Structure 1
């Protein structure tokens, strides 16, 4: 972002609120996906990697200080998602289908999230996906592998859903339509 306009600031603030509301909804409902990066991806796709990173960090900070302390620890994942979405969607460094873009956005963040989950929290977080980790672990899978496999599956589903929503939203906004076609 070269010069931030009031329009961009307003959309980024809306994106932060979107992250907080959707992330808390997923947490409250104990969904196996997170929904806390939809706004991050929206900002990154509309304005570039820096906007995505700023939106993700702001969301993690506010959520971590208000409703879910775990969110603070996963701020590096928000940074990664903002960066990757900005590169793949805003800068269009890869022209492939959404299904592949979602995977490319997912993989780096999954490594980071898995490390955080295993090293800091012993495999258990506030997310609904922790239940799946415990089931796999109870079936005999080692905890690190259980965390990684669940994280990969839930992250991919989460990022694909978020990316589909973001691209759909940007396609109906005239000033962003050309960016995502």
Structure 2
């Protein structure tokens, strides 16, 4: 993979629930690594009731035989809270985009990188790390506006990169 394409997602979608068993079969994917904040739930949210749609989506994918693994930079406590509700394995404080975190997660799924999609809302963590490991990367529209200063800066840079690839999002 050429270095200038490391920030290019293979797919860009509006919401994680747009990923269906059919979507995955078309791409020959059997598992997903999933970011937490602004991908599955709004940043900072602990309201599992508001995540009912995503919880049902994850349950349905698991029932379809799709392997799921949470790969999040959120705190271990926050990741543990959501893993309990989601019902699958994963880690917090993963250290994305470090490829070591992705390789650990792939071992947890027992699948090669070519059969796994990395799903997240950030180019410089989720997409970059997934591409470095040879995974199919799927960028989703962020669920919420994050007020952290470093995230605001990253979002501006993401807009420029996405525009270069023909996407005009306002994350």
**TM-score, normalising length from structure 1?**
0.37
User: Which protein has the bigger helix share?
Assistant: 1
User: Which protein has the bigger strand share?
Assistant: 2
Say which structure, 1 or 2, has more relative contact order (CA 8 Å, 6+ apart). Answer: 2
**TM-score, normalising length from structure 2?**
0.38
